[in-house]
Structure 1
């Protein structure tokens, strides 16, 4: 049998901006991250606004006088959950809502900055398309009622692509997988073992082994460890409960050790993994993976995760930012939500309003400084992908990665031509 040598790719981590050193909470307010976001947005939009409406004043609100205002959207939502509702003495009839969606016809938009806020009117801004935290420049005029009638809208738009797509002369693949859920009721050990055997070249004939040798990296986008529900209930753990906690971690370490012995691997935390809850999630501690972490091909990463591979810029999350957008706005597909975060140049616009994040004081690390070549999101309901082209020749491969434990699907991206396809693994033995 012919032996194949695994191809290599030059890797550089760019996660430093998401690392939190010396966490502090005393005296820090979430308003500071909004101030940092608005300051960054104003600097970003200063030149475009001047070219967009050169004849208009900025931040000059006078009745029936056209002007341009720059600020952050606040969305007033009638059905938005509030912790105060649990302590309300008067229980009123609350309209039934769809699971994970809190939209209502009476929702309206407000634009705010450090000075104040104004209610937005007009048909150009549809409330269902927006969430709290998005920055915009608006052309309009103040009405006699004190509202702002929007006549035109300028969004930040796709950032510039510092590194255009490089040209490779050979096939090199990156494999994405998420939602393995080792230890949960829906985890199928055989299914994931088939994935491991395929990537490591122990499955299939000569052609399959050749393709496996062209895999230069595996990225696990969160939700790898499924802790059984009810184990962590605030009570002292019994020996049986301790075993339930430890066994999934031991099992995934064995599986990961097989992978990293053959190919470099990036391990991102997700919402159900043993990591901090808020964004950015910090790398899973290497003591959880004593076998895999012994290899220099194992990389425990942050969520969001940013890296460079053979000159290509990658940016991705484990899915919390997109899932939260779905709760408070609407779109035809998940890819539309993914694209919106690029166009507003912010990975998690709903943080900290409805999505937990660290109270940064001097920066907003979720701001997208440059346009990535690949933007991936894990733990989605189904596989979706498309190439997004920007006005300045930006080219971005958008990828929604399905939950592996439910779909048996991993995603392969060819760096040579940016083609994307799925790997389907089934452990169903029924005829």
Structure 2
């Protein structure tokens, strides 16, 4: 260092007052869409078949309206396609269309009854990346979409079912679209001599009605007898992140420390601090902890039994490690005085396994829960909102729909020829289903057995659809038939990529801030 620069380091305190940046206010309204009943009102004795029938009853009118408009004048050889109310009403050689629920009979899809029968005789195979017959165990290989199989459902049998029966679908048309178990569709074609339905065209419910911006807040104000204002507050940016993967291991928190300093405006130049001040809310979309589930798998229990150890179900004080949750709690508590946080649970987080996952309990956050609304306190948004997965909420007037990633990951397993996560997310929007494969529980994606209606059906179209814990950042805008526009965001795992997504709440245009740690040597 040159001698001329020493004076810059040793100076008396300055009387110059530094400018203090004000964080942009957050305008946030949580929605209880995926909250389950509490206590004795929550039941698990119901059958999952009722949930499929409820889903069909909810979406059948919408898909039938689209189908009737599309096929009203469709003719082949002078015969007009007629509508059938039930699967059993379809007759051989008659041109018709019918609405129902798709079901995929996949040879390699997990079967809970087979798993229980085999676990005492052979070791369980590793988890499969795909459920098709063309791929090997846990990996990809060359596949081709067979006639009669959907896009990537090689070797699968595709059925259409309703409350009256089931009809097998076939035809080359099915290979051109994304099809999974649980989707509600209308198909048009004819039944052949083998009893299979040759599909000539297919329709889905497509995007539902999309509310206007600030409609949720204006509706709440009207219900409370307050005047609806036309003067809107200044919107900032929403920070979205997923896959923090806090492990509690010393030396594994450098990326988290960099993120913390950035969000608090304690690092970088004044321009970057101004950008941090414009962030009005942080959304954490699942997997905040690293493999923290306290429930051992059947394979782990079987291995323990063979070694002569005792089987331990649920909480085990001898193996429980509080370090991950303590580190996460301390990290959140450092942020919360400065920025409000919405926390969605994920597959690895300590809450219910089945969807919709309920909020992580306040007992897990002894330092951060002071920023939550108490259970007996006033209704409304808390500064720290531990919410469900999936979750719906309104931020700066926009309707958000977010998940921790499990539904998209499960749809991915059904589609061996499709690797595009954005394409799957768009399909879920057009199916109007937040978790299309959920009622296949307990085989592929576990869920609560709803009875009064399927909560995974989208009642209204979101403005932002975000999915956490994806392989990489991707974004697109999905447009609907009535002018709906949805910003779709695939949010990567922060622990692997170091990427934070910033969404401008005026333009809904995202940008990525990347944090990197360089290894020495």
Using the size of structure 2 for normalisation, the TM-score is 0.76
- Offset of residue 292 of structure 1: 1.2
Counterpart CA distance in 2 for 1:10 and 1:173 is 11
Alpha carbons of 1:70 and 1:429: their partners in 2 closer, same or farther (altered >3 Å)? same
- Offset of residue 429 of structure 1: 4.6
Greater mean alpha carbon deviation, residues 99-108 or residues 111-120 = 99-108
In the other structure, the counterpart of 1:382 is 472
- Offset of residue 130 of structure 1: 1.3
CA contact (8 A) 2:285 2:467 kept: yes
Does the alignment pair 1:133 with 2:178? no
In the other structure, the counterpart of 2:281 is 217
Counterpart CA distance in 2 for 1:238 and 1:18 is 28
CA contact (8 A) 1:385 1:397 kept: yes
Counterpart CA distance in 2 for 1:359 and 1:230 is 23
- Offset of residue 45 of structure 1: 2.5
CA contact (8 A) 1:64 1:143 kept: yes
Structure 2 unaligned segments of length 5 or more: list them: 1-17, 73-79, 126-132, 142-151, 216-230, 301-310, 372-381
Residue aligned with 2:274, SS: helix
CA contact (8 A) 2:355 2:446 kept: yes
CA contact (8 A) 2:92 2:192 kept: yes
Matches within 5 A, 1:111-150: 111-126=160-175, 129-150=178-199
Residue aligned with 2:339, SS: coil
Matches within 5 A, 1:171-320: 172-183=236-247, 188-227=252-291, 234-235=311-312, 241-242=319-320, 245-295=321-371, 296-320=382-406
Counterpart CA distance in 2 for 1:171 and 1:16 is 25
CA contact (8 A) 1:312 1:373 kept: yes
In the other structure, the counterpart of 1:161 is 210
CA contact (8 A) 1:159 1:345 kept: yes
- Offset of residue 18 of structure 1: 3.3
Does the alignment pair 1:9 with 2:26? yes
- Offset of residue 17 of structure 1: 3.8
CA contact (8 A) 2:238 2:280 kept: yes
Counterpart CA distance in 1 for 2:338 and 2:429 is 34
- Offset of residue 68 of structure 1: 1.3
- Offset of residue 32 of structure 1: 0.8
Residue aligned with 2:190, SS: strand
- Offset from partner CA, 1:212-253 (integer Å, 9 cap, x none): 1110110001111224699956549887633xx211111111
Greater mean alpha carbon deviation, residues 129-138 or residues 9-18 = 9-18
- Offset of residue 127 of structure 1: 8.4
Counterpart CA distance in 2 for 1:187 and 1:298 is 27
Counterpart CA distance in 1 for 2:433 and 2:139 is 22
Residue aligned with 2:319, SS: helix
Using the size of structure 1 for normalisation, the TM-score is 0.91
- Offset of residue 24 of structure 1: 3.9
Does the alignment pair 1:18 with 2:67? no
Counterpart CA distance in 2 for 1:165 and 1:141 is 47
Counterpart CA distance in 1 for 2:478 and 2:242 is 22
CA contact (8 A) 1:20 1:282 kept: no
Does the alignment pair 1:34 with 2:31? no
In the other structure, the counterpart of 2:71 is 53
Greater mean alpha carbon deviation, residues 55-64 or residues 104-113 = 55-64
Matches within 5 A, 1:382-421: 382-421=472-511
Residue aligned with 1:125, SS: helix
CA contact (8 A) 2:64 2:99 kept: no
Alpha carbons of 1:287 and 1:121: their partners in 2 closer, same or farther (altered >3 Å)? same
Aligned-residue CA RMSD (Å): 2.9
Does the alignment pair 1:425 with 2:451? no
Counterpart CA distance in 2 for 1:20 and 1:50 is 38
CA contact (8 A) 2:55 2:453 kept: yes
CA contact (8 A) 1:73 1:132 kept: yes
Alpha carbons of 1:382 and 1:143: their partners in 2 closer, same or farther (altered >3 Å)? same
- Offset of residue 169 of structure 1: 8.7
Alpha carbons of 1:323 and 1:53: their partners in 2 closer, same or farther (altered >3 Å)? same
- Offset of residue 57 of structure 1: 2.6
In the other structure, the counterpart of 2:99 is 70
CA contact (8 A) 2:285 2:404 kept: yes
Counterpart CA distance in 1 for 2:213 and 2:45 is 42
- Offset of residue 128 of structure 1: 7.7
Counterpart CA distance in 2 for 1:96 and 1:57 is 38
CA contact (8 A) 1:100 1:327 kept: no
